[in-house]
Chains A and B, each alone.
Chain A
Amino acid sequence: MIRKEINKISEIGKALISVEGNPGVALNHVVELLEADSNQSLSFAKAINITEDTTRFQVFNGTTGLSTKTKIRMHEIPLTAGFSSKMLGRSFDGAGEVSDGGPEVIFEKQVSTRLDTLNPTVRNVPKQALWTGIPMIDVFNTLVKSQKIPIFAGPTEPYNRLLSQIAKGAQADVIIFAGIGLKFDEYQYFKEQLSQSGNIDKTIMFTHLAGDSQIKGLMLPDVALSVAREFGDQGKDVLVLLTDMTNWSNILRNVANYQDMIPSLQGYPGSLYSELAKRYEVAADIEGAGSITIIGATTLESLEDPVPDNTGYITEGQFFLENGKLKLARSLSRLKQGVNGKTRSDHRAIMTAMASLLADAEKAYEASEVGAANDAYSQKLLRYRTDFIENVEEPFGEPMELEAALNKCWAILKRHFDSTETGLSKKLIEEYWDKN
């Protein structure tokens, strides 16, 4: 088949190019850019904005080195990603090309990267816990299969360490790692951690390093999630790690800016919410098929920044990492109620009681800073707070079974309070207070 070609590029900017006239390209279809003389392939690009006078493309490999004479060859198909079970154990770039220097992968099929919405009626209501061995998650904010949840953390927090800790112990058939704007050491760290845990053979890594082409970073989640979805449709339980979605949103902002779009908050396009939602909503427990769980990382300076703020409204809760601890106060798993009622009888009650005491303790802590927490009860609360931060909010200890973690909670309560001060019911107190 002879493919139509366009011979003149009229405008070349950062990441975008335009041609005059209407060459007949369709929206979101792929074109290939070729060196004018040698016909050597330089990059692929996607049509994003078409009028009868001009057509604009996003260039996957960046625009440096392109000239007005660069040839554009039309492929007349929308963007797809290659899929094969042979991808397991391998690394790819944001466009789905092999990037680990190993042999080419023969793809079994091409899958659409459009990320069509799953019909809500074929979603199962999530009911299966995904245990992590981290008490702060298992007891207080249980992770559930098919959940979408980010780790909110300052840029210097060990969020990637936490992600890999969760991935190492995860009961998933396939792990898809999607890294956007990663530093090389972060990439290498994940690779080593996954190799050590023996999970590397069920992992596919899609990586975009800081400094790589922006468009490839922008595309990466779509390519990674399309591959994840194909595994899910085939009945596999898939865990997707997206890190870091703030980097991705910043690329989105840059590209919107190149397109002269009207910014809404802090320069981000008005569509930031919809764009993030489109990716996170891929998480699902699919009727008659597998499941996709997404744990993201969102770095932030402040919770009010548009990226964490929009993310919080999209995801089913968040894990909040501060000073290396998983903080109870701002963390939340929205799906936990679907699983934590079927564990031990004290699970929900102790979770609520400890949280409520911790909130009181935080108030006492604030009071103590101005010397106003001198009464005996405030002192109790302060001791409890210290104990809680050191022993419960620490995510990086030895993995602990739920049962042991709950017992530990009782022990901490007993260490600091009288049983009536806990707000726990008489029945539970009788059953557990003296056992721990």
Chain B
Amino acid sequence: MNDINKKRTGNLISIQDSLVKARFFDDVIMGETAEISVDGKFLQAEVLQIQPDPKNADAGIVEMQVFEDLTGAKIGDEVVFKGTPLSVLLGPGLLTSVWDGLQNPLYKLSEEDAYLKPGMNAPALDETVLWDFTPIVKVGDSVSGGDVIGTVPEGKVDHKILVPFKYGACKIESIIEKRSVNITQKVAVIVDELNNKHELQLAFRQPVKSPIPFRERAIPTKPISTGVRVIDLLAPVGYGGTVGNPGPFGAGKTVLQHSLCKYAVADIIIMAACGERAGEAVEVFKEFAELEDPTTGESLMKRMCIFGNTSSMPVAAREASVFIALTVGEYYRYQGKKVVLLADSTSRWAQALRERSGRQGDIPGPEAFPMDIPDQIKGMYQRAGEDLGTGGSLTFIGTVSPAGGNFQEPVTQATMDATGGFWGLSQDRADAKKYPAIDPLVYTTSVYDGFVSWKDRNKMLGTLNDANDIDQTISTIGLKKVPVSNYIQYQKGLTIDFCVMQQDAFEKNDACTRPERLEIINEAVQNLIEREINFEVGDMDDEQLKEQIKHKFDELRQWWREWNYSAINEEQIRHLPKAVEEFILQEEYAV
């Protein structure tokens, strides 16, 4: 066994961008972290590969990626190997935190300098905060990794203190009484079967690249109310599900992510801003703090934590940030919490792997991505899931930024293969400012028991499909040749699209639709689909009649959209199906 307490070192022999090589004489562990000393600063690195040294049979060469800018590094600079893989600190205080991709707290670092400089770091969780610890086990109890030894309230979240997952069967040798402690103080001592003693604190480190296990994994079935109508009606995502959300730039991925952040019903939302614009992450942690959590009514930030590894930050840390965020999600899932992880964007993550493999000189796969990128993407999404054993779930919604908006590129393809749901954003819909630009005809879902019945959903889809077909007919052979009955069907589809599928994320009353309201909308939609509408033909010719029909539907759409924005009380909301009914009967319906 390695004596990990012994100092093991190496010296740099090659430096290129964020990739370095070092010569070592002792031993190096694959995947362990290291610190490189450059101009008196210590830069974080991770071991990627170990090779023989062609110049020295007693030595070896280790290849590492460095998470910080290497300016000033020289041949011979010392490397100290840490013996532990890349890990994340788990414990109370995770919520409301804003970190960089390596879990350095950004607010804390800003006290030192407005700019992020190489070598800067600070404890991931505040060590001065006191937490009210209540033990739930007693001396002599048997415990093992993942068992709960006590709880602390973290805002409204009941944060369970777990035995670190690395421990097997142990016994509690001592545990403190109910009192306030910080995350560095000892709360318990456990003894393993070899009679080794281990001190436990409120927080512990967990490697990020190997998943925290499930107790009893299950297929996600219960849909999440996201507040976004097109999702909840047509393409719902279940607690513990996975969704890939690709779209060309400008198609509204960011606004959609922000909507999910604000309105998705969940205990905890983790945001991994991975290689994206800094401004968007800032908007989340500065503005969302003032918004209300849909379930508790508290500040939205109290249920969130954010990893802001934005596009100009070191690229190697981008890869780490997604794994770190996933591990935090798994930790809360293990405590029985419903967690939603939003990763924006998994394409940037894949590009980080591409940059690295390019520098390492690997033989490139399609579009120069590493050959195994589909497996890596699948492995990542597989960490999401529902756990019946704990009652928790981790839902993973990843955005994809396909080059050129082309869904055929490797990352989008691999994502489609890896996820249970798929929300494709359409450039055409975005160009027409039809938001959210999820194409009601291009998506998949693996939840069959959503907020409306499968039958109703299919009817809705059928009408949208019909409208789409008729639309194409109109643009190829002209309106005149389209029969009146088809034209009415087309107008019905347009109405469902305009008033239901489209939603204004910036209008207070329209931005979020809950299941109760959705049910009423569905009632109205089904009414509209099912019933025949009798227009007074009189002595109108075909063109006049169609004009008349369009005019009537225009009025309905205007009325309905207004309803979206303004119907607040029970009576106003209940009025929708009735109004549609009156429209069908061609009575005066506007109130």
CB within 8 Å of B: which A324-368 residues: 329-330, 332, 334-335, 337, 341, 348, 352, 355-356, 359-360, 363, 366-367
CB within 8 Å of A: which B282-306 residues: 282-283, 285-287
Q: How large is the interface on A (under 10, 10 to 19, 20 to 34, 35 or more residues)?
A: 35 or more
A270 contacts B404, CB within 8 Å?
no
- Chain A residues whose CB sits within 8 angstroms of the CB of B454 once the complex forms: none
Nearest B residue to A118 by beta-carbon distance? B115
A367 contacts B474, CB within 8 Å?
yes
- Chain A residues whose CB sits within 8 angstroms of the CB of B406 once the complex forms: 304
C-alpha gap A424/B73 in the complex (Å): 61
B74 contacts A115, CB within 8 Å?
no
B17 to chain A, nearest CB (A): 8
Contact with B along A231-246 (1 / 0, CB 8 A): 0010000000000000
B403 contacts A309, CB within 8 Å?
yes
C-alpha gap A341/B506 in the complex (Å): 9
Q: Which residue in B75, B277, B361 is a CB contact (below 8 Å) of A262?
A: B361
- Judge whether A38 is part of the interface by a CB distance below 8 angstroms: no
Most buried by A among B276, B432, B434: B432
- Judge whether B581 is part of the interface by a CB distance below 8 angstroms: no
A420 contacts B358, CB within 8 Å?
no
- Judge whether A376 is part of the interface by a CB distance below 8 angstroms: yes
A121 contacts B110, CB within 8 Å?
yes
B562 contacts A264, CB within 8 Å?
no
- Chain B residues whose CB sits within 8 angstroms of the CB of A337 once the complex forms: 506
- Chain B residues whose CB sits within 8 angstroms of the CB of A28 once the complex forms: 70-72
- Chain A residues whose CB sits within 8 angstroms of the CB of B106 once the complex forms: 119-121
C-alpha gap A263/B354 in the complex (Å): 10
B502 to chain A, nearest CB (A): 9
C-alpha gap A306/B286 in the complex (Å): 33
- Chain B residues whose CB sits within 8 angstroms of the CB of A303 once the complex forms: 404-405
B253 to chain A, nearest CB (A): 10
A27 contacts B71, CB within 8 Å?
yes
Q: Which residue in A270, A376, A426 is a CB contact (below 8 Å) of B354?
A: A270
Could you list 17 examples of A-B contacts with CB < 8 Å?
A27-B74, A28-B71, A51-B15, A114-B69, A117-B312, A121-B110, A123-B279, A264-B364, A271-B315, A271-B355, A274-B351, A282-B312, A310-B403, A314-B277, A348-B506, A374-B479, A420-B555
Q: Which residue in A22, A120, A318, A341 is a CB contact (below 8 Å) of B310?
A: A120
- Judge whether A169 is part of the interface by a CB distance below 8 angstroms: no
B543 contacts A51, CB within 8 Å?
no
B550 contacts A27, CB within 8 Å?
no
- Chain B residues whose CB sits within 8 angstroms of the CB of A317 once the complex forms: 250
CB within 8 Å of B: which A103-122 residues: 114-122
- Judge whether A171 is part of the interface by a CB distance below 8 angstroms: no
- Chain A residues whose CB sits within 8 angstroms of the CB of B506 once the complex forms: 337, 341, 348
A123 contacts B282, CB within 8 Å?
yes
- Judge whether A89 is part of the interface by a CB distance below 8 angstroms: no
Contact with A along B359-374 (1 / 0, CB 8 A): 1010010011000000
C-alpha gap A378/B474 in the complex (Å): 11
C-alpha gap A50/B480 in the complex (Å): 73
- Chain B residues whose CB sits within 8 angstroms of the CB of A393 once the complex forms: none
- Judge whether A29 is part of the interface by a CB distance below 8 angstroms: yes
- Judge whether B8 is part of the interface by a CB distance below 8 angstroms: no
CB within 8 Å of B: which A212-237 residues: 233
A356 contacts B433, CB within 8 Å?
yes
Nearest A residue to B356 by beta-carbon distance? A270
Most buried by B among A52, A270, A375: A270
Closest 7 CB pairs of A and B: A359-B432, A304-B404, A277-B311, A281-B312, A264-B368, A312-B249, A372-B478
- Chain B residues whose CB sits within 8 angstroms of the CB of A366 once the complex forms: 475
A123 contacts B431, CB within 8 Å?
no
Contact with A along B63-96 (1 / 0, CB 8 A): 0000001111111100000000000000000000
Q: Which residue in B13, B248, B478 is a CB contact (below 8 Å) of A375?
A: B478
Nearest A residue to B69 by beta-carbon distance? A114
Q: How large is the interface on B (under 10, 10 to 19, 20 to 34, 35 or more residues)?
A: 35 or more
- Judge whether A189 is part of the interface by a CB distance below 8 angstroms: no
- Chain B residues whose CB sits within 8 angstroms of the CB of A8 once the complex forms: none
C-alpha gap A335/B275 in the complex (Å): 19
B312 contacts A277, CB within 8 Å?
yes
Nearest A residue to B278 by beta-carbon distance? A120
**Taking A52-B13, A119-B116, A270-B354 as contacts, is the C-beta distance between A332 and B547 under 8 angstroms?**
no
B478 contacts A363, CB within 8 Å?
no
- Chain B residues whose CB sits within 8 angstroms of the CB of A375 once the complex forms: 478-480, 543, 546
- Judge whether B526 is part of the interface by a CB distance below 8 angstroms: no
- Chain B residues whose CB sits within 8 angstroms of the CB of A269 once the complex forms: 358
C-alpha gap A277/B278 in the complex (Å): 10
Q: Which residue in B75, B348, B558 is a CB contact (below 8 Å) of A425?
A: B558
- Chain B residues whose CB sits within 8 angstroms of the CB of A114 once the complex forms: 69, 71
B551 contacts A420, CB within 8 Å?
yes
- Chain A residues whose CB sits within 8 angstroms of the CB of B434 once the complex forms: 356, 359
- Chain A residues whose CB sits within 8 angstroms of the CB of B282 once the complex forms: 120-121, 123, 125
Q: Which residue in A25, A360, A367, A425 is a CB contact (below 8 Å) of B561?
A: A425
- Judge whether B107 is part of the interface by a CB distance below 8 angstroms: yes
C-alpha gap A316/B73 in the complex (Å): 34
- Chain B residues whose CB sits within 8 angstroms of the CB of A284 once the complex forms: 278
B315 contacts A119, CB within 8 Å?
no
- Chain B residues whose CB sits within 8 angstroms of the CB of A370 once the complex forms: 476
C-alpha gap A264/B281 in the complex (Å): 28
Contact with A along B1-42 (1 / 0, CB 8 A): 000000000000111110001000000000000000000000
C-alpha gap A125/B288 in the complex (Å): 12
Contact with A along B254-291 (1 / 0, CB 8 A): 10000000000000000000011111011101110000
Q: Which residue in A27, A126, A271, A352 is a CB contact (below 8 Å) of B15?
A: A27
